[in-house]
Structure 1
Amino acid sequence: MRITEVESFAVSIPLKEPVAFATRVVEERDHAIVYVRTEDGTEGLGYTLGYGGADVVAQAVESVLAPMVEGEDPRDTSRLWREMFDGTVQIGRKGVMVRAISCIDTALWDIKAKAAGMPLYKLLGGHADEVPAYASGGYYREGKGLEGLREEMERYVERGHDVVKMKVGRKPVEEEVERVRVAREAIGPNRTLLMDANGKWKNKQEAVRACRKFAEYDPYFIEEPVMPDSLDLYREVNEALDYAVAGGELEFNRYGFRDLIREDAVEVIQPDVTVVGGVTEWMRVANTAASHDIPVAPHYNWDLHIQLLAAIENGLWIEYFYRDSDVKAFDDVLEHPIEPEDGMIQLPQRPGHGVELDRDALEAFRI
């Protein structure tokens, strides 16, 4: 089996209205899309969220990485990962190039599982046939207010979720405390509340002051209280709180996660398969975390992450966004959108990672 073609391009899917988190306003969701094809007609899919740079990732795949893998055996994922990473180290290591590697590596694993005639999670080892999902939301939107937040959280509970997540950090601390209070009231005392600050706070005093004020409402973790490269600050905040710090959605390989774990900077890791280096690197990260009894709660991209979480023993939750919240829009190009039932997602049994895209929809959103 040999790779004969790599196709890459970008799409951008507009939201109905802007949505915000602590550090950014979002009006559209752009993705780099990568197809890898073999001589026998097998096709693998990879993709990543672009945050305004999806076309740059697609170009990196086409101009730099595609020539490295064309003509190679797609089943040689370990070797090809190392060749792509080492072959781009002067311009890569993190950022755009590792997102591009993620796309190709994920497509290769899709091909491997299809060739084996089994779902990806079974090929990777198979630990569970269903995975728990938390409802992610609580974003900021003009006119939403406290009652809008309350209604949103109550809606997630009505849909069967015992774990929900909300954004914090965009407003003054006193207003954020009120938002957290309302969320806790909406879900009740016995469900799990998660919070995400998207790296808002710039120093220990700001982060710890805010997070300690939230403690009254029994959060399970605070995600990204500070920027991802502030490793010492991460550790200091984690040490200062009585509940967990989570992070890792913007870590780009095993080495970044090694440092997070070694420095006791986080207690929950959140690798994203479309960021960290694909399936190959995601599994390395998850298995390293298992050696330290650290749980894994991957960031976004539930359609791919269900396959990975179902293959490991230290999986915690899948992050899930309902399409009617109009925060993530990738469902608009999916052939088989997934929705939890009573907070659980059943693993699809299609060979490969199970994600198939609507080609007509892709064309409509193509950049």
Structure 2
Amino acid sequence: MTVVNRVELYHVAYPLEAAFRPSWIPGYPQTENRFDLIRVLTDDGLEGWSAGPAMGRERSGLGDLLAQYVIGLDPTDIDLVQQRLREMSYLGQRHYWIEPAFWDIKAKKAGMPLYRLLGAEGGRVRLYASTGEVRSPAARVEEAEARYREGFRAIKLRVHDFAESADIAQVEAVVRAVGDRMKVAVDANQAWRVTTVSDAPLWDLARAKRFADACADMGVAWIEEPLPMDAYDELAELTRYSRVPIAGGELHTGGLAELRMMIERRCYHWFQPDAVFTGGIAQTLEVIRLCRAAGLPYTPHTWTNGIGFAVNLQLMAAGGDREEGLLEYPVNPPSWTVTARDAVLVAPWTHDRGELELPTAPGLGFDIDHKALRRHGTRFHSSGRFSVAVKAVREKGLRTALEINKARRR
């Protein structure tokens, strides 16, 4: 039986060519794409990778706990992997970003891309250009025109001003310039408000309704996260009221249980879970099934890094509507470029006139550029069976360590 015999954790900080000012963190000039990377190795030579976005080195102590839970596991037993990650969360930290690494191994062991393992065929997916900064109306129009020339036929804007009029003016300018050629969507980034650097606008239901009315009059394609993520009653009311589809669900770390409740209450017209946050691939697959049963569209959030994009690309291929649906493609030059987004991948996820050919390589469909990883990443943990055993003896004593090991074997 294939078992996990080593886990490694890396912190990656890839420099951006220019400062990126994410709309969701007002006042914060981001100069690096930071994420933590996990490598899971098995005794028969397979390896699985996944990644989770990071502000800094907040996961520096994760390795010792993680190793105790996954060394010796059958990596293809996803139910058991989910249970182990659930157990790790009891003290308050959720690490479902780790789970896709085990799917990577499972699909590699089967010799096929994950979406094929999940029963889907190859082909292409259509993309929408997802911006990341708040810009002036003139700058936003220029950006939309650039994405149109590249082949995109849909773009998502960011609005995050204290003044409603400023938000509406930006949307109006873009719709007036490209609305007859491109779908225009808007993300208000209200689900998870961040004020750690500067204050941020806080929408209530009344403001969200006024904005929805304005967007409906302009023919906006959809509005994302116009209210706090846990304002379930208000979200359901807004969704009933709005003439523009309301979308969201990207960072609901309550995973399947929370999203099931939100689907039942119709908190959104369509759901955008990101498997890196919303319970991993296994729970997100069940969310997709529930959306289908409820007649609600699904298309994932992908704004993390190239590996997170790969995870959600596989899910879009397996469970999304590839005829009508659009997959988020984060790009915000000159700062958040494809190269910076995909950082340590051998081959970045480059589009072809607003479409992307699905990968044919086994697993999640990417290869790690180990030279780039050495240059931009730092390995902060590595554990194998022997080191875990030595640590147990050192901390618990030989007798207790043997007792624990005997119980695990049994």
Instruction: Mark yes or no: TM-score above 0.5.
Output: yes
- Could you tell me which amino acid in structure 2 is paired with residue 33 of structure 1? L
Q: Does 1:318 align with 2:322?
A: no
For 1:313 and 1:18, locate their aligned partners in 2 and report how far apart those are by CA, in whole Å. 30
Gaps of 5+ in 2: 191-200, 303-307, 379-410
Residue matched to 2:196: none
1:362 deviation in Å? 2.4
Q: Does 1:32 align with 2:36?
A: yes
Residue matched to 1:299: 301
Contact 1:231 1:260 (8 Å CA) reproduced: yes
1:281–1:262 CA distance, 2 compared to 1 (3 A): same
1:268–1:73 CA distance, 2 compared to 1 (3 A): same
Q: Which moved more, 1:122-131 or 1:20-29?
A: 20-29
Contact 1:34 1:58 (8 Å CA) reproduced: no
- Could you tell me which amino acid in structure 2 is paired with residue 10 of structure 1? H
Of 129, 133, 142, the match for 1:139: 133
Q: Does 1:120 align with 2:135?
A: no
Residue matched to 1:68: 69
For 1:90 and 1:349, locate their aligned partners in 2 and report how far apart those are by CA, in whole Å. 37
Residue matched to 1:213: 214
1:173–1:313 CA distance, 2 compared to 1 (3 A): closer
- Could you tell me which amino acid in structure 2 is paired with residue 133 of structure 1? L
For 2:113 and 2:177, locate their aligned partners in 1 and report how far apart those are by CA, in whole Å. 38
For 1:277 and 1:337, locate their aligned partners in 2 and report how far apart those are by CA, in whole Å. 25
The residue correspondences of 1:80-95 to structure 2 (distance < 5 A) are 80-85=81-86, 87-92=87-92
Residue matched to 2:13: 12
Residue matched to 1:107: 101
Q: Does 1:2 align with 2:13?
A: no
For 2:132 and 2:174, locate their aligned partners in 1 and report how far apart those are by CA, in whole Å. 9
Contact 2:132 2:331 (8 Å CA) reproduced: no
1:203–1:29 CA distance, 2 compared to 1 (3 A): same
Q: Does 1:169 align with 2:160?
A: yes
Contact 2:212 2:244 (8 Å CA) reproduced: no
1:160–1:18 CA distance, 2 compared to 1 (3 A): closer
1:26 deviation in Å? 4.5
For 1:272 and 1:318, locate their aligned partners in 2 and report how far apart those are by CA, in whole Å. 12
The residue correspondences of 1:181-330 to structure 2 (distance < 5 A) are 181-199=172-190, 200-252=201-253, 253-300=255-302, 301-314=308-321, 316-322=325-331, 324-327=333-336, 329-330=340-341
For 2:76 and 2:25, locate their aligned partners in 1 and report how far apart those are by CA, in whole Å. 40
TM-score after normalising by structure 2: 0.81
1:119 deviation in Å? 0.9
1:339–1:154 CA distance, 2 compared to 1 (3 A): same
Gaps of 5+ in 1: none
For 2:300 and 2:320, locate their aligned partners in 1 and report how far apart those are by CA, in whole Å. 14
User: What count of residue pairs does the alignment treat as equivalent?
Assistant: 354
Superposed CA RMSD? 2.0
Contact 1:323 1:331 (8 Å CA) reproduced: no
1:186–1:363 CA distance, 2 compared to 1 (3 A): farther
For 2:375 and 2:178, locate their aligned partners in 1 and report how far apart those are by CA, in whole Å. 39
Contact 1:331 1:337 (8 Å CA) reproduced: yes
Contact 1:294 1:314 (8 Å CA) reproduced: no
Structure number with bigger Rg: 2
Q: Secondary structure at the match of 2:277?
A: helix
Deviations 1:234-276 (A, max 9, x none): 1222222111111111112101111211111101111112111
Contact 2:116 2:122 (8 Å CA) reproduced: no
Q: Secondary structure at the match of 1:335?
A: coil
1:192 deviation in Å? 1.5
For 1:305 and 1:47, locate their aligned partners in 2 and report how far apart those are by CA, in whole Å. 12
Q: Secondary structure at the match of 2:318?
A: coil
Q: Secondary structure at the match of 2:6?
A: strand
- Could you tell me which amino acid in structure 2 is paired with residue 88 of structure 1? M
Q: Secondary structure at the match of 1:349?
A: coil
TM-score after normalising by structure 1: 0.90
Contact 1:296 1:314 (8 Å CA) reproduced: yes
1:228 deviation in Å? 1.0
Residue matched to 2:401: none
Q: Secondary structure at the match of 2:169?
A: helix
Residue matched to 1:47: 51
Q: Secondary structure at the match of 1:56?
A: coil
For 1:130 and 1:156, locate their aligned partners in 2 and report how far apart those are by CA, in whole Å. 19
Q: Secondary structure at the match of 1:250?
A: coil
Deviations 1:104-127 (A, max 9, x none): x11111111111111111011114
